[in-house]
Amino acid sequence: MKVVIQRVREASVSIRGAVHSRIGQGLLLLVGIEDRDGEEDIEFLTSKVSNLRIFDDSEGVMNLSIKDIAGEALVVSQFTLMASTKKGNRPSYIKASRPEVAIPLYESFCSSLSEKLGKPAAEGVFGADMQVALINDGPVTILMDTHNKE
């Protein structure tokens, strides 16, 4: 499972021209799921994301978590994170899970994150053609991969 974590001042997801979800200060999470992912990956990532100290304290040092600042989270499924560009110029998405596997894991990720934050995470719509708007704060962007923990 991969997640791109972006610290944002605000973010939103629109579908067919209408805003579906919107958050203020917090994190935009783009989540990619593959068949070998499971609840262990979800627990690892949601624990890390909810406690990651990437928000500034009063001294301007990144020392606070999303929970510390009472921030919001927006979770968007993104199968293209699983792209392989090893051969040719057209990415292969063969590693990305099919909806019947990915949807329950995506929903579980959102539930687990909401539980850890103590409030609901905003969500995109799995498989929808979404337009994501954000104001990246910093910018701070972090990539985490449960199969390549660094």
Range of the domain at 114: 2-145
pTM listed for this prediction: 0.95
Does residue 150 form part of some domain? no
110: phi then psi, degrees, rounded to nearest 5: -60, -40
Return d(Cα 114, Cα 59) in angstroms, integer: 29
HSE, CB side, 13 Å, CA atoms: give it for residue 2: 15
Average pLDDT per consecutive 10 residues, the chain (150 residues; last block may be shorter): 98 97 98 96 98 97 98 97 92 94 97 98 96 97 92
Which of 46, 80, 85, 141 does the annotation list as catalytic?
Answer: 80
CATH number, domain at 20? 3.50.80.10
Q: Would you state the pLDDT for residue 12?
A: 98
Count of domains forming the chain: 1
Tell me if 42 is assigned to some domain.
yes
Q: What is the pLDDT, as a whole number, of residue 150?
A: 76
**Active-site residue 146, yes or no?**
no
